[in-house]
Amino acid sequence: MKSNPVIFYLNNEYIECYPETPYVSVLDFLRLDKELTGTKEGCGEGDCGACTVILGSLKKRKSGFELKYESINSCIKFLPSIHGCHLISIENLSENGQFLHPIQQEVKKYNGVQCGFCTPGIVMSIYNLFLNHTSANKNKIEQYLQGNLCRCTGYSPIINATKKILKKYNRDKDNLLIASKKMKNHLLEIRKKKPFPSEVPKNLTTLKNTIKEKKNFTILSGTTDVGVSVNRDMVVPPNPIFISQIDELKHVKYRKNFISIGSSVTYSELGNELERFYPDITKYLVRIGGEQIRNMGTIGGNLATASPIGDMLPPLIALQSKLVLTDCDSRKRTIPIENFFVKYRKTTLKKSEFISSVEIPYPKTGSVFSNHKISKRRDEDISSVCASFYLVLKRNYVEEIKLVFGGMDEVPKRAKYTESFLKGKTWCQEEVLKAADNLSKDFSPISDARASKEYRALIAKNLFKKFYLEKFEGREGLKRNEQALR
């Protein structure tokens, strides 16, 4: 890479490096360049968790910058995107490489280790939980382990070890947290005094200038989608621009009529911010990837990939959210998100534009909102069908309704015929059953590796019926850990 160096801290070491290409992964750098082989190479797609590391990055708050540590998949994270960050590998957990960290001790004590290949990644995911929570129930522990596969011990020993750690060990004694204030100052110095690589714009102004200079470019943020393409399909997008350092794209602002979400806000951050307004979205977001993916993937990236099964697209369309697009000359245009998608993987985004923010309306009084995802595996899997339903009733008549499905067409799409059928009708089981049969007039799904067209059509009907039964008849269905399965 002919550019300024990528600068960051690896454990306690200051690093300046010039990657041969912008697509050198953090995993390859650790294993091949630094010979830190505790971080393992497994699937190469961010699914197995063997490559899990902790990344500390600066988050801008009203009171100043905060240093936040989160787990990520190093196999699909590229070196330029960690400029100005603090990278922690498994080797740094033990003091001077001599003693086991208490997490490692407890995992060993509770027999959470057999072949050991997946253990470093699992330990790092537990460490992520430990760094961010003082206590956690079984459901929360499982959530933090979603992105880690272990076929040796099963998860009971690992969960028991995690419970013991949170109960027994004092976070204030942890070496990383003790040194975090000093590390924060180091990262601020990189940010303020060191030049940024040309592929890593420091702010919006630099991004716009970079776009002007490059005729053909690819904007990347979380790289959860592109990382898989690079590793699995050997597809290398041209002229990458890593926008992970631009604070202006990470905002969450509460306006009079809507919540403005910056395009680089991650799934994890989005879930925390929307919980008081749309708790159903927060629950739904837990179905997107593992914790590592949620800490990397962004709302803007999910929109830009324009996948017909993009998990966040049906909720945003159902809520009638809008998309703010900005070009290199600072011109802005705002469009309904449902109008953003043209055909399979194609959008209305112009060459000189980028997604700057999403505007999500506040919930209307009395509105009912629900999100559903069907996949072959419950956790960390791609949707076969996903659906979002938004309903406003007036004296038990349907005043407003949005039925949005992913996986039923080449783009995420509303069931407009069925919506029209229900508009103004009494909201009751009889009308709902009639409406469910009308969905066949809205969609003609195809068969693929994930589901047959018959299965998709049946699932769409059943999800709509489920929406009625759950929200209006109180039938929660199957549960796990005292929570209804979605």
Q: What is the DSSP string of 436-448?
A: HHHGGGT------
Amino acid at 320: Q
Quote the CA–CA distance of 225 and 306 in Å, as a whole number. Answer: 11
Q: What is the reported pTM? A: 0.95
pLDDT at residue 97 in the model: 64
State how far the alpha carbon of 153 is from the alpha carbons of 108, 115, 127, 218, 332, in Å: 11, 9, 19, 42, 53
What residues pair up with 426 in beta bridges, in sequence order? 397
Q: How many CB atoms lie within 10 A of CB 13?
A: 10
Taking the mean position of all CA atoms in its chain, how far away is CA 350?
25
Sheet with 322-327, edge to edge strand ranges: 252-254, 258-262, 353-361, 322-327, 332-336
- 8-state DSSP, 408: S
Start-end of H helices in 98-179: 102-109, 119-132, 138-144, 156-168, 175-178
pLDDT at residue 150 in the model: 84
Sign, CA torsion 15/200/267/29: negative
Reported as type and span, the H/E element at residue 301 is: helix 299-305
pLDDT at residue 1 in the model: 46
State how far the alpha carbon of 73 is from the alpha carbons of 30, 116, 224, in Å: 12, 18, 9
List, as own/partner pairs, every contact residues 444-451 make where C-beta atoms lie below 8 angstroms and the sequence separation is at least 24, other chains included: 444/409, 445/407, 445/408, 445/409, 450/375, 450/376, 450/382, 450/383, 450/384, 450/407, 451/384, 451/385, 451/407
Are 85 and 56 in contact by the 8 Å Cβ rule? The answer is: yes
Position of tokens 């797609």? 45
What would the two tokens of residue 159 be?
Answer: 């969960």
pLDDT at residue 114 in the model: 85
pLDDT at residue 96 in the model: 67
Structural domains of the chain in order of their starting residue, each with its CATH number: 6-191 (3.10.20.30), 385-484 (3.30.390.50)
240, 245, 300: which is closest to 267 by C-alpha? 300
Buried b or exposed e, range 442-471, using 16+ CB within 10 angstroms: bbebeeeebbeeeebbebbbbbbebbbbbe
Quote the CA–CA distance of 308 and 341 in Å, as a whole number. Answer: 9
- pLDDT tens string, the chain, 486 residues long: the values are 457 999 999 999 999 999 999 999 999 999 999 999 999 999 999 999 999 999 999 999 988 999 999 999 999 999 999 999 999 999 999 876 678 999 999 999 999 988 889 999 999 999 999 999 999 999 999 999 999 998 787 899 999 999 999 999 988 889 999 999 999 999 999 999 999 999 999 999 999 999 999 878 999 999 999 999 999 999 899 999 999 999 999 999 999 999 999 999 999 999 999 999 999 999 999 999 999 999 999 999 999 999 999 999 999 999 999 999 999 999 999 999 999 999 999 999 999 999 999 999 999 999 999 999 999 988 889 999 999 999 999 999 999 999 999 999 999 999 999 999 999 999 999 999 999 999 999 999 999 999 999 999 999 999 999 999 999 998 776 666 666 665
pLDDT at residue 486 in the model: 58
Amino acid at 429: Q
CB proximity list for 151: less than 8 A, separation 6 or greater = none
- Which class for 97: exposed (0-12), middle (13-18), buried (19 or more C-beta within 10 A)? exposed
427, 424, 464, 425: which is closest to 442 by C-alpha? 464
- 8-state DSSP, 232: I
Are 429 and 420 in contact by the 8 Å Cβ rule? The answer is: no
Start-end of H helices in 345-452: 416-422, 429-438
pLDDT at residue 204 in the model: 97
Reported as type and span, the H/E element at residue 185 is: helix 180-193
77, 96, 98: which is closest to 19 by C-alpha? 77
What are the φ and ψ backbone dihedral angles of 348, each rounded to 5 degrees? Answer: -85, 5
Are 80 and 242 in contact by the 8 Å Cβ rule? The answer is: yes
What are the φ and ψ backbone dihedral angles of 272, each rounded to 5 degrees? Answer: -65, -40
Quote the CA–CA distance of 14 and 148 in Å, as a whole number. Answer: 29
pLDDT at residue 485 in the model: 65
